Homo-oligomer: A and B are copies of this chain.
Amino acid sequence: MSTHVSSPAGPQALLSPSVVRSTVLPVIQQQVSALEPTLARVCRYHLGFIDEHGDPSSGGDGKMTRASLMTAVADGVGLRPEDVRSQAAAVELLHNATLLHDDIADADELRRGRPAAWKVFGVSLAIHAGNALQALGLRMVVDDSGPGHNEIASSFAEALGLVHAGQARELTLRPDPGHSLATYEQMVLEKASALLECSLGAPALRAGKPENVLAALRDAGRHLGIALQISNDVEDIWGDPAVTGKPIRGDIKRRNLTFPTLSALSADSPAGDRLSRLWQADDITAEHLQALADLIDEAGGRDSAQKLSRHHLDSAVEHLGRAGLSPTAAAELTTLFDRIVNRAA
């Protein structure tokens, strides 16, 4: 399912992740190390720079997806990586701030295959650490004075507010045939798309590109977010924990309504009806979770989720095509989009 946008010659080598590693990562490391020492330790652990004992760690760090996207778009609009370095570092800090807090809110014990920060350092420090990353990320965009800085800072602050709204909306999502798919979509636009729109749009703002270019990039980010979230939903139920770094079926264990489940619940079929009944049961054994997963699959939830994710990935690539980026950057971003959604990286 991951090959439809790759070139026939095989997977393209990506440039932006290594540029991020040499340009953005040092900024993140330096800024986070300058935090109050205890917060620095929690944040450096969460970011995968150190292990639980404070020793350097090479594994577990995130892929810095958003920074890679921003760097690739910067290249596509004629900027250097340095021109969006602060913004790329900031978006990673903000994204990680939301993950730190989301793990507490969802009682998720694993993140990227390691104990979540709150399991290692306690809830209190993890709350303050997430806040520190959030304040630091916003401060970096607020203190930047390059072209378009006001618009960029405003787009970051707005996106961050949307992520929090989406996280809350997710907690309150209930089965409701009339509304839950619409609420789910709203939640995804907030929780998953907002920071991606921001990441893709920031270089256009910096380069002073016209409104139609900005709109095309933001549209691409919006569809990419939906494709990514639905793909994550599928991975939660049928994915490989060695790839996701999280225990399998956390969403259905917590009875979080994700796209495959909502789609299956709305299916007018015996499997859908049976799922509706079993979904209510207060049973979190592996057998029950397996039965729910099988019913979601049988009622078509897996298939329609995969189709919808692919559809939004295609839309993201289409919108990207309207942005008039350099062909090299457009190819890089197309491959990045595919790897982000399909975890082929």
- Using a CB–CB distance below 8 Å, which chain A residues touch chain B? 35-36, 38-39, 98, 101, 104-106, 123-125, 127-132, 134-136, 138-139, 142-143, 145, 150, 153-154, 157-158, 160-161, 164-169, 171-172, 190
Partner pick for A157 among B38, B129, B135, B165, CB 8 A cutoff: B135
- The answer to whether A165 and B35 touch (CB under 8 A), given A135-B160, A143-B154, is yes
**Distance between A87 CB and nearest chain B CB, rounded to angstroms:** 14
Partner pick for A168 among B132, B142, B172, CB 8 A cutoff: B132
A131, B128: Cβ atoms under 8 Å? no
Q: Which of A39, A128, A190 has the most CB of B within 10 A?
A: A128
B145, A123: Cβ atoms under 8 Å? no
Closest B residue by C-beta to A145: B150
| CA–CA, A130 and B166, complex, Å | 14
A123, B105: Cβ atoms under 8 Å? yes
Q: List 20 A-B contacts (CB under 8 A).
A: A36-B164, A36-B169, A38-B172, A39-B168, A101-B128, A105-B125, A106-B124, A123-B123, A124-B171, A127-B127, A128-B164, A131-B131, A134-B135, A135-B157, A138-B138, A142-B142, A142-B157, A143-B154, A143-B157, A150-B150
18 additional A-B pairs beyond A105-B123, A125-B171, A135-B164, beta carbons within 8 Å, are: A36-B165, A36-B168, A36-B169, A39-B165, A98-B131, A105-B125, A105-B127, A106-B124, A124-B171, A128-B164, A132-B161, A134-B134, A138-B142, A139-B158, A139-B161, A142-B154, A143-B154, A143-B157
Q: Which 10 A-B pairs rank lowest in CB-CB distance, beginning with the nearest?
A: A105-B124, A36-B165, A139-B157, A135-B161, A132-B164, A135-B160, A128-B168, A131-B164, A39-B168, A142-B157
Task: Return chain B residues, CB-CB under 8 Å to A123.
Answer: 104-105, 123
Q: What's the dominant secondary structure at chain A's contact region? A: helix
Closest B residue by C-beta to A139: B157
**Distance between A95 CB and nearest chain B CB, rounded to angstroms:** 13
**Distance between A109 CB and nearest chain B CB, rounded to angstroms:** 15
Task: Return chain B residues, CB-CB under 8 Å to A130.
Answer: 131
Task: Return chain B residues, CB-CB under 8 Å to A153.
Answer: 142, 153
| CA–CA, A165 and B128, complex, Å | 8
Task: Return chain B residues, CB-CB under 8 Å to A168.
Answer: 36, 38-39, 125, 128-129, 132
